[in-house]
Structure 1
Amino acid sequence: MPDIKKIYYFASTHWDREWHKTFQGFRFVLVSRINEIIDVLEKDPSFTTFIMDGQTIVLEDYCEIEPDKKEKLMKLIRDGRIVVGPWYTMPDEFLVSGESLIRNLMIGHSLAEAYGSNAMKYGYICDIFGHIAQMPQILNGFNIKGALLGRGTNYHNCPAYFIWESPDGSRCITFKVPEEMGYATFWYDVYEPYQFGRDPDKENIIKRACTYVDKERKRSDVPFVILMDGMDHERIHALAPWVASRLSEIYGCPVVFENMENLVKELNEYTDQMPVKRGELNETAKMPSNHNMLITNTVSSRYDLKKENDTCQILLEKWMLPMMAVGELNGFGIQKTYTDIAYKYLIKCHAHDSICGCSIDAVHKDMHYRFRQVKSIGNEVTNAVISHLSRNTSDDETSDTRLLTIFNPLPYPRHETISVTIDFNQNFKTKFKELAGNEIKNGFKLINEKGEEVPYNLTSISYNSFTSRPGYFFRNEADLYTISFTADLSPMGTTQYLIVPYDKPVRYLNEMATSDTSCENEYIRLNINSDGTINILDKETGKEYKKLLSYIDDGEIGDGWHHAGLVNDRAVSSLGSSCIIEKIDDGPAACTFRVTNYMKVPKRVIRSLHGNNRSDEIVELKISSEITLAAANRWVDVKTTVDNVALDHRLRLKMPTGIDTDEYYASQAFCFVKRKTGFDRNTGEWKEPSLAEKSFENIVMKRDNNGDGLAFISEAGLHECAALDDKDGTILITLLRSFSKTFLTDGEPDGQLQQLLEYKYRLVPLRPSDSFADIVRCKDCLQAGVRAVSSRVKESGLPLERTSAFSLTGDNVVLSLIKRPENQEKSSIIVRVSNYNDDCSTALLRCMYPIEKAYETNLLEENLATAVSDGDTLKIELKPWEIKTYRIILKGL
């Protein structure tokens, strides 16, 4: 064992902004903690550095209450005495998008600068519940080369220092905190007995500190020891300089209070002694310690929060930010502050104890308020741009001819069946009445730019309904007609159709249904089985996926962190329940069946002195799924609603893929990870045994050895899957966990989710030629959808136009974001792309204006190198699994 070269003493605290108290409850404590930090540091110059938990939001929270002390705080930050950043809030990695992680770090860096300092260039992720594969690449994008973490790793196969590598080869020198109490182990072992009066002898602090140092130096041959005295909401330890001085005397080496990024510089000399760990870090905990648990099931708690968060991220990333960029190119700029405010509301919800759904009910109520603010801002901004882009189609109230303008926010052409709602004026002239039933309908045809009639399904009519339209301040009353049809959409732009009044009945009599329970298109045959499950036949490959979409319901006595089943459990399958099969829409564009399962499940868990049992009292769980096969689509879309009237239970969707392989793929931010099916059965004696349940961002899939397979794509809210190692190749998706247990309470109701819950997802049969990027683009289409505006125009109509602001072509390259730059540079656009492939990939981005200059940038949007462009086209080259950001300066604006 080498001598210790240096001991780093990281004086710190860990600040959960909201958890078992609300934000305001914890802020009341925060103010006194920071006041004490300021007081101690001002009085003791030997206490040179304090680490503010890697977050900057605490600065705003504190200064809102203590504005008169802001300058004192800023002076300590400017002098490097208080180290802040790089995060705004310490997030969960699995439950938020890659763009949200980037934005979180961007805000953290900006706020640190506003308070007088650069953000700490260190990946401080000390309490996150496992780690995604691409986190080292994201950190490197901010020039962060080191990280500190614990969960997802184990002593038996991971030393104190290791190299953590992303799929693209990006690396971080990483310190694994001790397992006993994680980042708080030094505090617990050394300070806690003195602090709580169990051992008032100060000298014993030094004895315990020496014991700790000796234990830590055995975890690695690298000659540095790290001490961290922070605990959740812990106060500063004024004794720290004295402890450091005594340890320096005893070990004959410096004991320093420094910025964590200095450690990385010294560790660079010892990387050859460090093992490399690649990809995600998601091992469950072996050692029976207090802290080091992965805590897998946070990804399935509080579905309502997860869905709201995903919905907000989709709105900002797929609509608001790209539309602000497109608006700028069309002479309609919108203040960047709307983006700043929306993202701060959102990222306040991304703190790990918040988004993970493991806090008290009051915290999660506050989150719903923030999500509403994000949606309100995002929709107002998006609709304002749409209104501006539609300004040349203002209503001509003398005409019933309408111009339908469809907006596609994605930079890819789309050939698919879409659904839009048209708001007809109530005095629309050409109406017809069916022979029976007296239902009166508007007679109209849909005409494309070639003058061709486009058949459509009339899906629903809502008469006398108030509706909002871009450009109108008040809501107007209208008759709303929802139609579906096959469209060819321009990339990131508009496609127009005419809605022409027709004075005869308009009926499209072609149908996709082949029986009361089946339908097909060019690619897929869909059959509804008598038990409510479905079969999907891929007509090209001949592969059939059978008995999909049954449900399993079992007991739940866990909490927001963990699923806990019962010893005396009863798992109920929907295969034994009654069901009703209805055909609710059929025509040339799509066919939709509604399958309603009535599952009889125990009402609740009965807790008694003799144990826990699911009740004998039964309730009926109504699960209704609308299953749609559209004419142009190579997938089946499903909308499932669950009327959750049961308590204390877990409900999962079951899909036996029939693919008997021992691997599956799950999406994460900017990549896919390949995992083994099932779980490690050798972990039965571990503190936290291996689980089949694991996270996925929004896609989980299995493929056979030929490359055929089945993908499940979630629109929003679903993030826990289990790929079993059974002969049926089963994939389970957790739809909900109902529980009442919250930390340090006697139980609360909101986690039971007693409400109507809605899920949207897509089942995609895979061919060998389908790449990861193809599947991600399919997900993007599901999430983004389209937006449409219709305006009354003169009967002669207008020349139908197509517009396209940006188009991206490249087999394996996917757009992550298009936006205005943070510095609001005139004529400038930021574009971020990623390569979903093991090989180098190229792509072309075509812009609506010629490119004057283009640069590769880091994630802070700082120029790194000149990029290659030709006319209006940016040439993109990416290494395997690389994320790359470009700044494009356009001419002619």
Structure 2
Amino acid sequence: MENNRRTAHIISHTHWDREWYLPYEKHHVRLIRLMDTLLDTLKRDGEYRSFFLDGQTIILEDYLQVRPERREELEQRIRENRIFIGPWYILQDAFLTSSEANVRNLQIGHRDAARYGTISKVGYFPDTFGNIGQAPQLMRQAGIGNAVFGRGVKPTGFNNEVSDAEFESSYSELIWEGPDGSQVLGILFANWYSNGNEVPTDEAAAKEYWDRKLADAEKYASTNQLLYMNGCDHQPIQTDLPEALRVARELYPDTDFVHSSFADYLAALGEGGRNGEGKGERDGADERNGAEERDGEPASRLSVVKGELRSQRTDGWSTLVNTASARVYLKQMNQHGQTLLEKVAEPLAAIAHGLGNHSYPHHLFTYAWKTLMQNHPHDSICGCSVDEVHREMVARFEKSKHVAESIADESKQLVADAVDTSGFARFGEDALPLVVFNTTGWARSGTISIVADVRRIYYREGFAPEEMIGRLKALDLGGRVLVDAEGAAVPVAVEELGVRFGYDLPDDAFRQAYWARQVRLTFAAADVPALGWKAYAWVKAAGAASAVAPEAASIVRGERSLDNGKLRVDVADDGTLTVTELAGGHTYRDLLVYEDTGDIGNEYMYKQPDGEAALTTHGLAAEIRIVCDEAHRAAIEIVHRWELPASADALFEEEKQYAVYFPERKAQRVAEKVPFAIRTLVSLEKDGKGVAVRTSFNNQSKDHRVRALFPTDLHTSVHRADAVFEVAVRDNEPAAEWKNPSNAQHQQAFADVSAADLSRGLTIANKGLNEYEVLRDGRNTIAVTLLRSVAELGDWGVFPTPEAQCLGKHEAELMIIPHVGDGAVSGAYAEAYQFQVPWTAAQTGVRGGPLAATGAAYAWEGEGLAFSSLKIADGSGDAMLRWFNLRPQPAELTLAAPNAALAGSGAAAIYRSDVLETRGEALAPRADDGSQSVSVGPCEIVTLGVQGAKRE
């Protein structure tokens, strides 16, 4: 191609937010109209070449739900490469969705697109509110050598206006490198994804349009291949685009105007492969679009941008980061739903599948994941839509949770019934075995609570209800002890629950109703293997003469202190905590101050009123009392009776009404106060490595933010936060361009401040609290947002959202984890990950079984590695296990031979895989024990498949 010619690639698309400033069904109606128009246009006009369907396959489901009669026509256009679909199921906000949710999104999007015969291999991130650092590695493992994105390296403001300021790349094309070294060709929408929208057909208007548009694109492009996106948010189809391009060709004979596709555009850039299919290797330097030149300068001299793209080289006012704290209740429901699926239901179902008599319910998991992911688009999970949208999200979260619970309940019972509990027979026929499951990737100790049926009487036995209830009430439950599989007594707290109604739903019979005498047993389970189980039994002490429960030492030390030998907690008059890590002798003071400030921003961004001083509970006398003193756990209740301003003032209403840009608002808070009582439960377990904090309050104040503060007093210029398949290292001080007084960030499971030499640190773990900030206060305080109350959507118009004030009852859970050494190898980060995962337990009978009383499905070792997932691959039926390296240093992963009772007949073949779970290179087992070792690169995501697992 001659250097004096240029090609304008016009790609037709629509950016389809399923829900945002309109409720889902109102957007849905517009989608049906858009898709009808698209199909009609493709049928009528052969010159209208193709359309990119926003990278998400859910649009197909949404359309065919209403238009099933057009399925065949839709499929034909996809097969003809006139409609490009995939690679995602939905366009998620990656920072607010878990690592595995991002992978499931890719897996399901690829699977759905493959049914139509084609997958668009485009790493499409058009409007994510920042981009995760591991995106290049995820794309490479999915066979994608590019990433197309709009945010993260260039300022965008009101109504997605793109500023003319500098950004981290020399051009709109760049090399994006992940922390593991994976590289993809990055395509930045430097002039946004609407820069080719509404192309005029009138010659005069077209001349003015293209003079401006060609100059805008050439300003940033590194080659003479110019990208124009013909569409925008919910943009209708431009049906006369072929005519508009004919006019443009006549006006600019030196320019090739092409109704293009991403496949053709990327090929023209020399990205390597017509469909953008990367080779999957970790070094992508050979695909750096070096074939073209501009002004004699090789385009291979593109800027290399590394890691997370979070708009840190901007003024900080339009990063949209505070969507991490908009409607916190949604983030908490999402964390619970994700965890239930990926860390409980999937591993339990995989273990049950390995027993050989139970099929892995792929169809149910797909349904549950899809239902959950329908809440993951950026305007949904970010909490930045109108109230109707978020009401519907609550129902979706509940639906997905109920499916996950159903899978988990069935799976845990199947596995529990396969555990050999025959050893408890020596304690008599009334022994009640229990199986405790640890579905995390590390051995675990902690407090378990299970409701057990001591005895059931079914209606089918012929007794009147009064007699059933009477017989059950007459049972003597005294003289029982809890024992482990070796017969050693375990201290247990027993709570009588009385007689309760219940029922079974057999697969082969009508429902079976019964009455049961129930108790709640709470105890400390010790050293339950990773991905494993441990059996206990509640038995009559008469049959367990040697099983005398030892006298357990109390964790309570006086009226305001707890001490379990690892940690000591002291509570001050104002409710603040002093936590001492006893092995190293390190003390952290003034922990758990609550802070409140006004917020006159919106669902997207926080804005504190100018000149306002934060209110805190520092120095506010608290009510303090011991509320739990048991062998397994102790707890202190702290109550603050506070008052907060009722709302922002009248000026704020005017500023919202006239859409005053939020950094320029001048409103203040009113003098009127409303009560704000905070109840905090601080607890420490017998073997706990962290101090659990449960905070609850009834919010009746508007236009404000509540945070919990944890001063670290550690000297360091950086901190760490759990992100997607990464512990991201971030600067405490923002870049010189940063003007926003706030520097809030995203987190997944934890934020950590460690000393510069990594000799010690403080990790603050959370459940669904995705926003934190390391304060520039001289103490490197970790501030975690518990609540943000705002009144409007924001962005491009005036959209009141009264329910975003989040009035009513709220609860938040955190854990304080001091550690010695690097958090990745000391166990602090593993403790934070485990904090998010609930224990699982099931009651079973006294019986033999193929599984040992204490055992695990898989065992592994690897310093600095985090376990992420155990599931069964769709299609192959292989067990898939995934880890990621928490550190930028190489590591070694050793996977033991699978549990023989679960591996099926013959030796299990273990192979390397990827995030799409394809079969790769087989690993040679060690001759002595059948284990395999794998070298893991810095920050690498590793997936291993076990081919010997039982099949459907």
Same fold (TM over 0.5): yes
Give the secondary structure class of the aligned counterpart of 1:85: coil
Matched residue, 2:438: 408
Match 2:180 to one of 168, 173, 176: 168
Question: Which residue of the partner structure matches residue 258 of structure 2?
Answer: 256
Structure 1 residue 460: Cα displacement: 5.6
* Of 881, 886, 893, the match for 1:843: 893
Check conservation: 2:364, 2:403, Cα contact below 8 A. yes
Q: Which residue of 1 aligns with 2:593?
A: 550
CA deviation after TM superposition for structure 1 residue 443, in Å: 4.2
Alignment match, 2:785: 734
Measure how far apart 1:507 and its partner are. Answer: 9.1
2:832 to 771, 779, 782: 779
Residues 888 and 470 of structure 1: CA distance in aligned 2, closer, same or farther (over 3 Å): farther
Deviation track 1:532-560 (CA, whole Å, cap 9, x = no partner) reads 01011111222100010010111122221
Q: CA deviation at 1:723?
A: 0.4
User: Partner letter of residue 665 of structure 1?
Assistant: R
- Aligned partners of 2:647, 2:431: CA distance in 1, in Å? 56
Aligned to 1:511: 554
After the TM superposition, which of the residue ranges 514-523 and 666-675 deviates more from structure 2?
A: 514-523
Residue 720 of structure 1 corresponds to: 771
Q: 1:441 to 1:616 in 2, by over 3 A?
A: farther
1:630 alignment partner in structure 2 = 685
CA-CA distance at 1:2 after TM superposition = 5.6
**Which string of whole-angstrom CA distances, capped at 9 and with x for unpartnered residues, describes residues 761-781 of structure 1?**
211112115426834421232
Worse-superposed segment, 69-78 or 203-212:
203-212
What aligned pairs does 1:219-230 form with structure 2 within 5 A after superposition?
219-230=220-231
SS in 2 for 1:761: strand
Contact 1:408 1:489 in 2 (8 A): yes
Secondary structure in 1 aligned to 2:676? strand
Pairwise CA distance, 1:565: 2.1
> Is the Cα contact below 8 Å between 2:447 and 2:633 reproduced in 1?
no
Letter in 2 for 1:320: A
Match of 1:865, SS state, is coil
Most deviating of 211-220 and 768-777: 768-777
> Percent of pairs identical after alignment?
24
Tell me the distance in 2 between the aligned counterparts of 1:367 and 1:233. Answer: 20
Q: Larger deviation: 556-565 or 142-151?
A: 556-565
> Residue 819 of structure 2 contacts residue 826 of structure 2 at CA under 8 Å; is this kept in 1?
no
Choose the corresponding residue for 1:299, options 324, 330, 340.
324
Q: What displacement does 1:237 show? A: 1.4
> Secondary structure at 1:559's aligned position in 2?
coil
Deviations 1:310-345 (A, max 9, x none): 111101111111111111111222431101110110
Q: Which is further off, 530-539 or 235-244?
A: 235-244
CA distance, structure 2, for counterparts of residue 57 and residue 773 of structure 1: 42
1:509, CA displacement in angstroms?
5.8
**Take 1:7 and 1:888, find their aligned partners in 2: how far apart are those partners?**
48
Partner of 2:454: 425
Q: Quick one: distance in 1 between partners of 2:314 and 2:25?
A: 36
Whole-angstrom CA distance in 1 between matches of 2:696 and 2:512: 33
TM superposition shift of 1:791: 4.2
**Is the 1:403–1:797 contact (alpha carbons within 8 Å) kept by the matching residues of 2?**
no
Counterpart-to-counterpart distance in 2, 1:799 and 1:812: 30
1:443–1:501 contact (8 Å) kept in structure 2? yes
- 1:103 is matched with 104
Residues 193-272 of structure 1: pairs in structure 2 closer than 5 A: 201-249=202-250, 250-267=252-269, 268=271, 269-270=289-290, 272=300
Q: Secondary structure at the match of 1:605?
A: coil
Cα offset for 1:230? 0.9
474-483 or 82-91, which moves further after superposition? 474-483
- Give, in whole Å, the separation in 1 of the partners of 2:503 and 2:456: 18
Q: C-alpha separation between the residues in 1 aligned to 2:727 and 2:366?
A: 30
State yes or no: 1:121 paired with 2:121. yes
The letter of the residue matching 2:606 is: H
CA contact (8 A) 1:552 1:651 kept: yes
Matched, 1:184 2:188: no
Which residue in the other structure is 1:133 paired with? 133
1:20 maps to a residue whose letter is Y
| Among candidates 804, 807, 820, match of residue 751 of structure 1 | 804
Which residue of 2 is the match for residue 384 of structure 1? Answer: 410
8 Å Cα contact 1:559-1:739 kept in structure 2: yes
Q: What is aligned with 1:540?
A: 583
Match of 2:945 in 1: 887
Give the deviation of 1:616 after TM superposition.
Answer: 2.3
Q: Secondary structure at the match of 2:398?
A: helix
1:485 is aligned to: 524
CA distance in 2, matches of 1:92, 1:444: 51
Corresponding letter in the other structure for 1:172: V
Match of 1:142, as an amino acid? A
Work out whether residues 486 and 632 of structure 1, in 8 Å CA contact, stay in contact via their aligned partners in 2. no
Does 1:614 pair with 2:614? no
AA in 1 matched with 2:483: I
Q: Which amino acid aligns with 2:23?
A: T
| One-letter amino acid of the counterpart of residue 322, structure 2 | N
Corresponding residue number in structure 2 for 1:497 = 536
- Counterparts of 2:82 and 2:886, CA distance in 1: 42
Do the aligned partners of 2:351 and 2:415 also contact (CA within 8 Å) in 1?
no
Q: Which amino acid aligns with 1:801?
A: A
C-alpha change, 1:470 and 1:739, in structure 2 (3 Å) is farther
- Separation (CA, whole Å) in 2 of partners of 1:647 and 1:515: 39
Matched position secondary structure for 2:227: strand
Determine the structure 1 residue equivalent to 2:284: none
- 8 Å contact kept, 1:550–1:654: yes
Q: What's the counterpart of residue 589 of structure 1?
A: 632
1:356 pairs with 2:382: yes
SS in 2 for 1:541: coil
- SS across alignment from 1:705: coil
Distance 1:818 1:244 in 2: 51
Distance 1:508 1:585, change over 3 A: farther
Deviation digits for residues 574-599 of structure 1 (CA, Å, limit 9, x no counterpart): 12433111111123332211111122
Is the contact between residue 494 and residue 804 of structure 1 (CA under 8 Å) also seen in structure 2?
A: yes
Equivalent residue pairs, number: 858
SS across alignment from 2:836? helix
CA distance in 2, matches of 1:838, 1:244: 49
Closer/same/farther in 2, CA of residues 682 and 206 from structure 1, 3 Å limit: closer
- For residue 597 of structure 1, give the secondary structure of its aligned residue in structure 2: strand
Kept in 1, the 8 Å contact 2:315–2:737? The answer is no
Which shows bigger deviation, 331-340 or 611-620?
611-620
Q: Say if 1:56 and 1:422 are closer, same or farther in 2 by CA, change over 3 A.
A: closer
Q: TM-score, normalised by structure 2?
A: 0.85
- Find the aligned partners of 1:475 and 1:601 in 2 and give their Cα distance: 51
8 Å Cα contact 2:387-2:803 kept in structure 1:
yes
Identify which of 830, 835, 852 aligns with 2:880: 830
Matched, 1:453 2:481: no
| SS in structure 2 at match of 1:136 | helix
Normalised TM-score (structure 1): 0.90
Residue aligned with 1:624, SS:
strand
Which among 276, 292, 310 is matched to residue 282 of structure 1? 310
Q: Would the aligned equivalents of 1:9 and 1:255 in 2 still touch at CA under 8 Å?
A: yes
Deviations 1:281-301, CA, capped at 9 Å, x for gaps: 00157499xxx9421110111
1:436 corresponds in structure 2 to none
* Secondary structure of the structure 2 residue equivalent to 1:726: coil
Please give the alpha-carbon distance, in whole angstroms, between the structure 2 residues aligned to 1:715 and 1:282: 22
Shifted more, 445-454 versus 699-708: the winner is 445-454
Change in Cα spacing, 1:462 to 1:545, as seen in structure 2 (3 Å) is: farther
Q: 1:746 to 1:838 in 2, by over 3 A?
A: closer
Question: CA 1:55/1:790 → structure 2, altered by over 3 Å: closer, same or farther?
Answer: closer
Aligned counterparts of 1:606 and 1:459: Cα–Cα separation in 2: 53
CA distance in 2, matches of 1:142, 1:797: 40
Q: Paired residue for 2:711? A: 656
Residues 390 and 591 of structure 1, relative CA distance in 2, 3 Å threshold: same
Q: Which amino acid aligns with 1:580?
A: E
